């Protein structure tokens, strides 16, 4: 994507918008054809159908539901007919990214028909007020910097890019070369780490007889290292593609309080937080940021009418699971994520509200020890959760889970049951009454 971005910067900046759209369509289609041959027609079909839905059904709830059902059904059918027991690079990989784009477009187009007073500030920011042309929808869908693996971005930001507005210097090309180079360099660093580490840590060993014969402590330690390394392939892809988006200007996100331009609009990773956080919630908010933001914006917050935050969160994670694929492992992974997040929040609240635990946690000399223990716990059970996500099929992830006695499920379900009783013991009654008030 970097040569394409350089060409667009040099020759197409502030040119006619239709030229930008046409360029993105041609480059995106060339990437699709190079990787998947004639199977690129799947994306063409879905884009054309989406355009017809917008034009024929307009800004209606029917258009939103039709979009959701058609695009998800097409993706599910693709998963069903191309499924294997391994991670394959096939047309469904970019198509899952496209599916979110087109569903988000339909919802933003629907919001564009409402008065601003009936929208949240976030909805107003992304609402599509005009009527996109087929070329515009296609350019948005095929943008070369995000076609294969993301990140997600809105039609409104894409329209600003086409108008030459995504720049820190109005009327001039964005000063984004150095920020883009930094993300590319960081991505290549993670690529080297992943490539070298994968020589010694692999999915195959995790399900091998040799692994099963190792001592329990070794199996858990290997899972910790494996979980840490396996995610670096995603980190690499997202950092490299983010650099493309920054280079062309799509990553521009305004200025901070000091007036310094920010280039994180397309950031899918907060690398420092990801590497240093001892919390599962910290990993979640620092990893796959734009996809998580998309799910929060278009699924979680739209389920507010249910009146139950936990139910909305569970349904959002269920959507994420089936969006990833039809393998049982995805459902188990996101079920585990929900369980761990619930338990972690209860533990944090318990430590905060208990005088004994909060005093213990505030002892300066003990903080490094607590941090190391948290990190070991965090990465061990993150690796545990990733086993079904990466091994996909029932027989593989069950084999691994049996070998470690389902320790993650046993631990966190036990904590879920025990923590309320621990709270009764460790939190004074006056603290409970104060919290209730």
Specify the residue for token string 């200025």: 255
The C-alpha atoms of residue 12 and residue 148 are separated, in whole angstroms, by 22
* Main-chain phi, psi angles of 287, to 5 degrees: -125, 130
- The Cα 283–Cα 292 span in angstroms is 12
Q: Which helix (H) or strand (E) holds 416?
A: helix 407-426
- Active-site positions read 288, 324
The C-alpha atoms of residue 360 and residue 362 are separated, in whole angstroms, by 5
Q: Retrieve residue 40's tokens.
A: 């690129």
* Strand ranges for 236-380 from DSSP E: none
Cα 20 from Cα 162, distance rounded (Å): 6
In contact, 126 and 11? CB cutoff 8 Å: no
* C-beta separation of 51 from 45 below 8 A: no
Which residues are 269's β-sheet partners? 287
And the tokens for 431? 């603290």
Nearby residues of 394 by Cβ (< 8 Å), 6 or more positions away = 328, 329
Give the separation between CA 217 and CA 223, rounded to whole angstroms: 10
171, 165, 142: which is closest to 40 by C-alpha? 142
Q: How many alpha carbons fall within 13 Å on the CB side of residue 247? A: 24
Length reported for the chain: 437
333, 317 contact by CB (below 8 A): no
Contacts of 39 (CB under 8 A, 6+ apart): 90, 91
Helix or strand or coil: residue 238?
helix
């Amino acid at each position: 994507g970097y040569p394409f971005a350089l060409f667009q910067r040099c020759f197409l900046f502030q040119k006619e918008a239709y030229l930008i759209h046409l360029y993105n369509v041609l480059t995106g289609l060339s990437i699709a054809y190079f990787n998947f041959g004639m199977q690129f027609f799947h994306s063409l079909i879905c884009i054309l159908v989406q355009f017809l839905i917008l034009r024929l059904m307009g800004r209606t709830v029917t258009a939103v539901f039709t979009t959701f059902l058609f695009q998800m059904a097409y993706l599910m059918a693709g998963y069903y007919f191309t499924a294997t027991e391994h991670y394959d690079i096939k047309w469904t990989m970019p198509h899952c990214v496209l599916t979110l784009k087109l569903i988000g477009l339909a919802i933003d187009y629907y919001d564009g028909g409402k008065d601003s007073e009936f929208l949240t500030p976030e909805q107003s920011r992304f609402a599509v007020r005009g009527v996109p042309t087929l070329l515009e929808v296609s350019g948005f869908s095929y943008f070369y910097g995000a076609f294969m693996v993301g990140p997600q971005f809105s039609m409104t930001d894409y329209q600003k890019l086409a108008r030459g507005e995504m720049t820190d210097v109005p009327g001039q090309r964005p000063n984004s070369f150095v920020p883009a180079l930094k993300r590319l360099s960081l991505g290549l660093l993670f690529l080297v780490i992943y490539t070298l580490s994968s020589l010694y840590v692999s999915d195959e060993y995790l399900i091998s007889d040799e692994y099963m014969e190792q001592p329990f402590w070794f199996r858990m330690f290997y899972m910790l290292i494996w979980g840490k390394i396996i995610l670096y392939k995603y980190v690499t892809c997202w950092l490299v593609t983010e650099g493309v988006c920054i280079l062309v200007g799509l990553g521009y996100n305004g200025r901070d309080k000091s007036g310094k331009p920010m280039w994180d609009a397309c950031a899918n990773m907060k690398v420092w937080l990801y590497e240093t956080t001892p919390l599962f919630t910290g990993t979640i908010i620092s990893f796959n940021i734009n996809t998580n933001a998309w799910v929060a914006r278009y699924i979680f917050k739209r389920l507010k009418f249910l009146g139950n935050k936990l139910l909305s969160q569970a349904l959002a994670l269920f959507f994420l699971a089936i969006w990833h694929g039809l393998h049982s492992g995805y459902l188990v992974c996101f079920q585990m994520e929900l369980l761990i997040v619930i338990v972690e929040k209860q533990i944090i609240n318990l430590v905060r509200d208990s005088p004994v635990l909060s005093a213990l946690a505030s002892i300066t000399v003990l903080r490094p020890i607590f941090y190391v223990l948290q990190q070991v716990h965090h990465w061990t059970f993150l690796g545990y959760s990733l086993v079904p996500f990466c091994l996909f099929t029932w027989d593989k992830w069950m084999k691994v889970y049996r070998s470690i006695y389902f320790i993650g499920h046993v631990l966190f379900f036990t904590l879920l049951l025990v923590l309320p009783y621990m709270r009764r013991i460790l939190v004074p009654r006056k603290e409970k009454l104060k919290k209730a008030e």
